[in-house]
Amino acid sequence: MKSATDEAYQLSVDINKIHEGLDIPSDDKFFIPSLFHSTVIEHHRSIILLIESKLYSSACTLMRPLFEAYVKGLWFSCCATEKDFEALRKDKFHKTFGSMVTEIDEKKESKLSVPKNNYWKTLNSFTHSGAALLGRKYNEDSITNNHDEELIKNLLDFSANYALLSGCEISFFSGNKVAIQASLNLASAKHGL
């Protein structure tokens, strides 16, 4: 698994290099979504480091907040009103995740509801210590890390895909054509996004 985590870590480094020195407009529609997208990129790197340390359950628990931060970044950039930004600043923003996904799909004509419908229950189970997480904590009669290679690959791929997408969003917000092209090239080369 070392080569897969090495490659994933290098991807994280590459995403961050593209953003070095970028200026993001201070307007809420750009700046606040950038905060969410930078959280996705940070969670991606954290997942890699946790996997390298064989802390697989902790890596699993970060999958939902990673996906959630990505969705919030999109929603706040394309759907939010000034009232929503004010509520967020006061930690009183309470729109449901499903509503945000639906509104993004309607506004952007996207299909974000597909990964939401396919993965949301499992992501919740990981984060809230449900069966998807606990079922991987034992082997026959002993408590252990029983996370198979396929799961680890899926964790790396899922987090990489959303880190790449978030990286593209941040580059778009900056308006920097070099960063935009570099992000698109990286996404295309690494995951065909």
Residue-wise pLDDT for 135-146, tens only, equals 777 777 778 776
pLDDT(193) > 60:
no
Q: What is the mean pLDDT of the chain?
A: 93
Length of the chain in terms of residues written: 193
Percent of the chain with pLDDT over 70: 97
Flag whether the pTM goes above 0.85. Answer: yes
Q: How far is CA 33 from CA 16, 37, 111, 149, in A?
A: 16, 6, 19, 33
- Rounded to whole angstroms, the Cα distance separating 111 from 147 reads 30
What CA–CA distance (Å, rounded) separates 47 from 117? 22
Given this model, what pLDDT does residue 94 score?
Answer: 95
